[in-house]
Every structure is written in C-alpha cells, then in structure tokens.
Amino acid sequence: MPTNAAGTILTSYKHIAATGTVKSESLESAVYQIPRKRKTRSDSAAVNLMSGNSISSPKKLKSHRPSSVSNPRISVKEVMEDSNEILINPVNLAVKKLSDCLGSKSIWNPRDEEQMRVVKEALHVSKAPSTIVCREDEQSRIFEFVKGCIDQQKAGSLYICGCPGTGKSLTMEKVVQRVGDWSTQAGLPPVDTLSVNCTSLTKTTDIFSKILLEIKPGKKANTNSSPLQHLQNLFSQKQESSSSRMMLIIADEMDYLITRDRGVLYDLFMLTTLPFSRCILIGVANAIDLADRFLPKLKSLSCKPMVITFRAYSNHQILRILQERVMVLSYVAFQPKALELCARKVAAASGDMRKALCVCRSALEILEIEVRRSAGPESQGPTPDDSMVRMDHMAAALSKTFKSPVVETIQSLPQHQQIIICAATKDFRGSKKDATVGELNKLYLEICKSWMISPAGITEFTNMCTVLNDQGILKVGQARGDKLKRVSLRVDESDITFALQEIRIFRNCLV
C-alpha cells in the first residue's frame, strides 16, 4: 500500500478524532476516502452547511484534505465496490460507537512501553472480553437448552462444532457463568459443572473417572466394576432428593475421544439416556462433520444430540470484535482502515478470530520496530498522532502471517491464467472436486464476458491449463477409460482466495 494513500486516510482520521462530533456516516466516508479532483464552491458550501458553519464570502475555500461528506454517493459506491457489501449492517453500530468516543482519546505514543503493553494485552487471545459480540444467537440457544434441562430435571446432550477461532470455548464460559447467575436468582440448587479438555486425558476412558469423582468426591468405583459401569448403575436407580442436583458436563475437544470402535463416545452420550440420569452433556469440537459421521448411530441408540454450528466469522464480525477491543483503550493506536484490511483478509482466509488478533499484534510489533529505528535524541517527547498502525504496517503483518509461495505465484501469473484459477475455485466449491476442460472453459468464458475481456481460444485455454498443471496449481489428467481431460485444484482454496482478493477485479467474483 503506497504511503500517500495511507497518509490521506490518516489526515481524515485525525480531523475526526480532533472534533469528536462527526456522525457515523461521516466516519465511514472518511476512512474510505481517496484523493479526488478539486472541489467546487457548491461542494464546499455543502460541507459548511452540514457542519453548521456559514460562508461569509463567495470565495472558493481551499483545503488540504478532501471532504468526508462532499459526495456521499461516491463514497458509498466505493465501499460497495471494495467490500461487495451494503453499508447497512450491524457493524455500523460499532463504527458509530467508535466515532462517539474518539474525541476523548489521548495521544498515542508507541515509544511509551506502558501504552504498547496495554494495547498488546487488549489484543491478546487469552484476554477474555467482558461481553461476547457476534455470538449472541448461539449463546442464547445454548443457554435456553441448559435452562430447559434444569427446569424439567431432565438429562440432555448438545454438540457444538465449528472451525478453530470461532468463539466456541469463550461462549461456553459465558454460558456457564450465566447459568450460575440464573439458578441463584431462581432459587434453584446450584448446578455442578465439570469442564474437561479431552486432550489432557491420558486415556479416553478417564473421562468417566472424572465424572464419577465430580458426582461422588473422594469415592472410587468398586474394583469389580469400571467407572463407566458405576455411572451406569448410578443413573439407572432412583436417587434421594438431596442428591438430585443437575450436572453440566462440558467435553472440549471431543473429537479426541474417538477410538477405533468409537465406544467411548457412544457410552458418553448414552449416559444422558438412562432413566434417572441428571447429566447435561455438551460436546465441543472443531470437526464439523463429526455429527454427520456419528449421528446415525447415536440416533439408533436414542441419544441423538442437538447440534449448534459456529460458522466462521465474516469480515464485518471480525471488524466489530476488533473495534470492541480497541475502544476500551484511552488512545487510538490503529487506523480504522487498517483494522478493516485485517478483517477482510482474515475472513477471506479462515475467519479465525485468533488469527486476526495475532495479525494486529504483529502489526504493532512492526510499528514498534519502525519507531525504534527512527528514534533519536530529539524525538524523546510525545510522538505525532500519525505514528499509529497504518495500512502498510497491517499489510506487512498479513503478508508475514498468510502469504506463502503459492500466493506469490498466483499473483505473478498472467491475467488469463488467474481467471482460469478463479473459475476453477468457483466451480469446485462444495462437494464438486473436478470438472472437464470443456466445463471449466465455459465458466472461464462467462467470467471474461462479465469483465469485458477478450477470451482465449480453446487451444490456448488448454495450453494455459497445462502450464498451471506444471506449476502445481491445477491437476490436469485423464482417468482410465475416460476420453475427456479433467481438471482439479492442487492447492488450498484459502490460498487462492487470499491471492486473488489482492486483485481488485476478482473481489466480487470470489464472494
């Protein structure tokens, strides 16, 4: 990202931070603004009218910065072209909240070790936020499930799945806290909670020992029976009312319980089906297909769990979470545009929020190194407020985190070869893994037509596929007994998405 573009964005941002009174739509336009031709007198008048100032003379106003509200239509159009999203979305609430608090921010000094430490701590993955954003629906569904089981004094099972970094474990921590507060207010007996990370178990069957010790502390099962058998006997007999407290079992990283015969996993879910069971079992795992593989068997055993899927964070959700983290600081350390760049790239690659936090911390470290190199005897005082994390810092951190030889190779290819890769990526999404050369060529022609680019002929198209095959990006082959050549991808789709998102014409195509 060129320095002059980042400087223009920063100038608008500094103006907003100084006044502290610009509305949210002005902030959005400012962070997306790019240098344009000189404004006319009518444009300048419109700016002054909107800001409450009057013009005493018809002279043309001169300004070194472009107006953030002189042409709202153009600003909205730019945003839609850049992100392929309409601006009316929940992230605007976070943007407005950010703009309202900018006026009270103090000057950010990256040379101040204490300030740098506080910012890094706020962006650390182990720093649990006070409130969970963008996972309110999932949290509510889990809480209502547990609340229903407690109200009815009935056992139940729930399976939570989702990619890493989508807020599963953090949401469960908040649910446990919320359940405790609710049971206290309702005057109900406290719920016994057992959280087990299955990766810490020496043996998969040790989870039954942990459950037994939680129900009966200090007591061990008879030597003639295993912990599982003891639990099965315990939940098959009616218990005294004094010991009928419900028990919430959270098995994190549940996919580690999978054995060859999958018996441990089935036995664990079966505990919730016994006549006098009081277990509420919640399994958490990254494997999205775990439920699909085991649900048929669990259904036949009458212990099919309810399934809640945590989808990968979108760019708007990542941006909102990052803004919530930095808004608690008393100074502005990031350009809004830099945070948006981080959100877009992480969402395109994986949607992993932990990755986004690591990228922001890496960008801070890049700024810190830059400031130290430029430090001198005359620069020991407060730094200018433009010494914040800019887009060039964030781009360098993203390249360090995500870029691979595959990404660099794709970005260096000729345009028509990039279009072929884009067509293959679109065609192979979902369950489809390959296509014939003719099918891929048809999609290639459609993309060229939509971009008004002259397409290559079928012979040249086939030759380009062969070149991409030699570079290890596509696989072009012919199955035995098949007369048609088939094409498939050899590289990860996230690498392709990240590489082509850098090229403006591909952004809308890959959404």
pLDDT in tens, 412-441: 899 999 999 999 988 887 667 788 899 999
Strands (E), 118-235: 156-162, 192-197
**What's the rounded mean pLDDT across residues 145-151?**
95
| pLDDT tens by residue, 85-135 | 433 444 455 445 555 554 456 678 888 889 999 999 999 888 888 888 999
Q: What is the pLDDT of residue 179?
A: 95
Query: Which residues does 112 contact at the CB level (< 8 Å), separation at least 6?
Result: none
How far is Cα 445 from Cα 455, in angstroms, rounded to an integer? 6
Reported as a single tens digit per residue, the pLDDT across 377-394 is 555 444 444 578 998 899
CA atoms of 71 and 36, how far apart (whole Å):
11
Q: Above 90 in pLDDT, residue 160? A: yes
DSSP 64: S
Assess whether pLDDT exceeds 60 at residue 214: yes
Cβ neighbours of residue 310 closer than 8 Å, sequence gap 6 or more = 135, 138, 160, 161, 162, 163, 166, 167, 168, 171
pLDDT per position as a tens digit, 231-247? 999 899 887 654 568 99
How confident is the prediction for the chain on average, in pLDDT?
76
Lowest mean pLDDT among 16-20, 307-311, 330-334, 409-413: 16-20
- Tokens matching residue 290: 């775990």
Average pLDDT of span 278-305: 82
User: Quick check: 7 pLDDT over 50?
Assistant: no
Q: What are phi and psi of 489, to 5 degrees?
A: -90, 140
Confidence of residue 61 (pLDDT cuts 50, 70, 90): very low
Give the CA distances from residue 433 to residues 233, 426, 428, 470, 496, in Å, rounded to whole numbers and listed in that order.
49, 11, 5, 19, 15
DSSP result, 214-251? HHSTT----TTS-HHHHHHHHHTSPPPGGG---EEEEE
Of residues 262 and 129, the one with the higher pLDDT is: 129
As a whole number, mean pLDDT of residues 252-269 equals 83
CB 161 within 8 A of CB 172: no
Enter the pTM of the model. Answer: 0.61
Return the residue matching tokens 């893994």: 433
Range in 280-284, 395-399, 476-480 with the lowest mean pLDDT: 476-480
List the structure tokens of 283.
């399994």
Specify the range with the lowest mean pLDDT, choosing from 87-96, 172-181, 282-291.
Answer: 87-96
| pLDDT of amino acid 82 | 42
Q: Which residue has the higher pLDDT, 504 or 129?
A: 129
- Answer yes or no: is pLDDT of 486 > 50: yes
Neighbours of 81 (CB within 10 A): 11
Of the listed ranges 73-82, 275-284, 475-484, the one predicted with least confidence: 73-82
CB atoms within 10 A of CB 432: 10
Give the whole-angstrom CA distance, residue 18 versus residue 35: 21
More confident residue, 268 or 494: 268
Q: 115-129, 220-234, 458-472: which range is least confident on average?
A: 220-234
Q: Phi/psi class of residue 167: alpha, beta or left (left: φ > 0; alpha: ψ in -120 to 50)?
A: left
Residue 58 has pLDDT above 80, yes or no: no
